[in-house]
Chains A and B, each alone.
Chain A
Amino acid sequence: MSLVGFRIDDRLLHGQVVENWIESLRPELVVVASAKAAQDPLIRKLYAAAMPPGIGLEVAPIAGAAAIASRATERVLLIVGSPADALALIEAGVRPEAITVGGLHHAGGKERLLDFVYVDERDREALQRLVALGLKLIAQDVPRHRPHDLVPLVLGAR
């Protein structure tokens, strides 16, 4: 497996990814790991239509996505919708060099870490587990914006 990106974003495949990250990371295969998206035929159709020509797409639940990413020979960009799903992928054997949080949006009861990163208790715990596993955690919405080190924000006192 050649993992060129591992992204956590509650919007999954969306404008910033399709218009920017695919251009910048040049994956050959995009794997969207989401149980919800995987069972939604309309969303799958929309994602397929949105992909630039020549780039493969798989939309699968976490276990399936981990298997696809692990046996892929292409350059893979993995996208998950939450820190908990990211942790599940890591526990299923996916080994990225770093994890990029691209967007976790504001919702009731969520605490702000950055303008585009809000977390609840469950998110924070999963992110802390990822740090404990030795993973680099970066926050970056689009390639031309500076990446932030999320580790101190995730571990920091409230």
Chain B
Amino acid sequence: MRTAELVVGHSEGLEALSNSGLSTAALAEQVDALLAGETADRPVMLFVDLLGGSCAQACIEQLTRRSGSRLFTGVNLPMIIAFLQYRDTMNADELAAGILMRGHRGIAAFPEVPSAEPERQGRT
């Protein structure tokens, strides 16, 4: 968050939580408490590290409560920077697209690894 603030110049509207030592339910309560002051018609952009992690589970309930909200997994710094840059000028869908695009674009290896396209989606 501090680095994002250094790059963009502010970190308004950005809050951080840790899941350390918490059950999924306890973390979900903290997310709730953090968003208690926000009106339900304002979409929330939620960023978590692991796609399969407990933070993602704790946040996903918010999506049903606040329309236009999105959960982003695999968070990286470019995604946070994009959020801070665009949050005041874009609607929720445009903002989400911008965050995803910048996040993807921010991942690279040098020298390039031509065969390392990520696989997605398990069989269900």
Contact = CB atoms under 8 A, between A and B. Distances in A.
Contacts of B24: 10-12, 14
B122 A54 contact: yes
B108 to A, nearest CB: 22
A42 B54 contact: no
Given A43-B60, A53-B121, A55-B123, A105 B26 contact: yes
Contact of B52 (A42, A50, A53, A54): A50
Interface stretch (A15-23, A62-70, A130-138, A145-153): A15-23
A107 interface: yes
Contacts of B49: 15
Given A14-B52, A14-B57, A17-B52, A53 B64 contact: no
A18 B100 CA distance: 23
Overall SS of chain B's interface: loop
B25 interface: yes
B50 A46 contact: no
A57 B54 contact: no
Contacts of A51: 52, 121-124
Given A11-B24, A105-B21, A46 B122 contact: no
A93 interface: no
Contacts, number: 85
Given A43-B60, A50-B122, A55-B123, A105 B22 contact: yes
A53 B54 contact: no
Interface in A24-82: 42-43, 46-57
Interface string B17-44: 0000111111000000000000000000
B9 interface: no
Contacts of B52: 13-15, 17-19, 46-47, 50-51
A129 interface: no
Nearest to B121: A49
Interface of A: 10-15, 17-19, 42-43, 46-57, 103, 105-107
22 contacts: A12-B24, A14-B54, A15-B49, A15-B50, A18-B51, A42-B63, A43-B57, A46-B51, A46-B60, A47-B52, A48-B124, A49-B120, A49-B121, A49-B122, A50-B56, A51-B123, A52-B122, A53-B120, A56-B124, A103-B23, A105-B23, A107-B26
